[in-house]
């Protein structure tokens, strides 16, 4: 009879070990619960809730690790591309700014002559064309959202002034946004590509040129994101046509938006981590003498340079927008990697606590069973 009682007590303790409900202080106070002979035989095949949660935590930790690897890779890719994009912006600025100054000097000499130059003619504004430059991809924080909000705000201003407007959308994100809003008039949908070239800029310039020359629009404004630094970019509105009388790149309020000094960023490694070194670079621009004389007819020079001016300004805006997008993506992926690292630490802590609680509960039950048999 004593042997039977010992056998019953040992079976009871074995059953309580596999039962997740026994991982509490009740198992210590009542270490030998009586077995229920009417319980279902499928009880041993059921999965413990704690075992299930541990499995889910392990899967979630692995998922966070994989996500962190992806965001780290995207951060490094964006960091490698943003350097090349910034070099293209800085190298193209002297040409575009010098070209504007040449056009300004020629236009200034033509003020005393009775010559009609269509692209420099200022007429009463009845309709405005907005060239909105966005990115082709997401995962870059609020980059696309900021420039679209800037365009919406400008559209509301034009509506408040009683002016008509049309939009030329450049970029897949802007195209999808305006396609979902048919009440916004869009003249053309274009794509900038992953690496802006003169070919993509010429497609935009041709459409802008035809709209302005045919007098369908009286003013053309270029909305893009100006690259300032790796952590800062500014959506700006640049008056593309008619040509600025001061030979500067100006916004709608007449303020110059040219960058006299640029911050170059060099990606290096320090103590095994990716770091950024900054250096200041001033863009050189040529000064023209007021007594400069041209051998060719100024009208011929303007006819040759004005299409080049349009192409260079639009190409510059596309390059600035691309550099800003890559910088925003690098910053967003860096933040995502840091968040994934913090989440992985917190999940690992929860997993270790639950695992330790499970092991402690099993040890307590084994010790309680052994003491009951003694």
Q: Would you please indicate which residues are annotated as catalytic (active-site) residues?
A: 140
Structure token pair of residue 113: 């002559």
Residue with tokens 């909105």: 132
| 38/21 Cα distance (integer angstroms) | 18
Do 336 and 66 touch, CB atoms closer than 8 A?
A: no
Cis ω before 150 (30° cut-off from 0): no
Query: What residue has token string 């952590």?
Result: 231
Q: Which two tokens stand for residue 317?
A: 């805006």
Please name which of 97, 88, 318 lies closest in space to residue 199, comparing C-alpha atoms: 318
Alpha-carbon span 84 to 79, nearest angstrom: 9
Cα(352)–Cα(361) distance, rounded to whole angstroms?
Answer: 14
Q: How far is CA 223 from CA 19, 147, 227, 274, in A?
A: 65, 7, 13, 33
């Amino acid at each position: 009879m004593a042997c039977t009682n010992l056998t019953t007590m040992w079976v009871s303790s074995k059953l309580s070990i596999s039962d997740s409900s026994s991982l509490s202080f009740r198992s210590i106070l009542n270490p030998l619960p009586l077995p229920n002979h009417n319980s279902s035989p499928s009880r041993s095949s059921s999965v413990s809730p704690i075992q299930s949660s541990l499995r889910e935590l392990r899967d979630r930790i692995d998922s966070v690790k994989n996500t962190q690897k992806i965001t780290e890779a995207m951060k490094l890719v964006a960091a490698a591309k943003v350097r090349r994009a910034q070099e293209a912006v800085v190298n193209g600025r002297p040409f575009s700014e010098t070209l504007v100054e040449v056009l300004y000097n020629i236009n200034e000499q033509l003020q005393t002559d009775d010559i009609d130059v269509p692209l420099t003619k200022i007429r009463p504004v009845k309709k405005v064309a907005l060239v909105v430059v966005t990115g082709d991809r997401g995962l870059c924080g609020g980059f696309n959202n900021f420039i679209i909000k800037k365009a919406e705000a400008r559209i509301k201003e034009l509506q408040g002034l009683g002016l008509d407007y049309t939009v030329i959308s450049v970029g897949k994100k802007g195209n999808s946004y305006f396609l979902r809003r048919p009440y916004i008039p869009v003249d053309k949908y274009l794509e900038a590509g992953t690496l802006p070239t003169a070919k993509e800029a010429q497609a935009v310039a041709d459409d802008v040129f035809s709209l302005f020359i045919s007098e369908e629009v009286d003013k053309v404004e270029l909305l893009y994101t100006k690259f300032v630094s790796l952590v800062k970019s500014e959506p700006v509105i640049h008056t593309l046509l008619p040509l600025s009388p001061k030979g500067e790149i100006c916004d709608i309020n007449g303020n110059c938006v040219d960058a006299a000094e640029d911050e170059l960023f060099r990606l290096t490694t320090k103590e095994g981590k990716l770091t950024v070194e900054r250096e200041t670079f001033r863009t050189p621009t040529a000064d023209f003498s007021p007594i400069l004389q041209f051998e060719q007819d100024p009208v011929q020079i303007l006819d040759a340079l004005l299409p080049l001016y349009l192409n260079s300004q639009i190409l510059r805006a596309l390059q600035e927008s691309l550099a800003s997008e890559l910088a925003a993506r690098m910053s967003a992926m860096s933040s995502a990697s840091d968040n994934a690292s913090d989440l992985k630490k917190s999940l690992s802590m929860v997993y270790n606590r639950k695992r330790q609680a499970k092991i402690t509960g099993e040890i307590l039950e084994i010790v309680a069973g052994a003491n009951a048999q003694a």
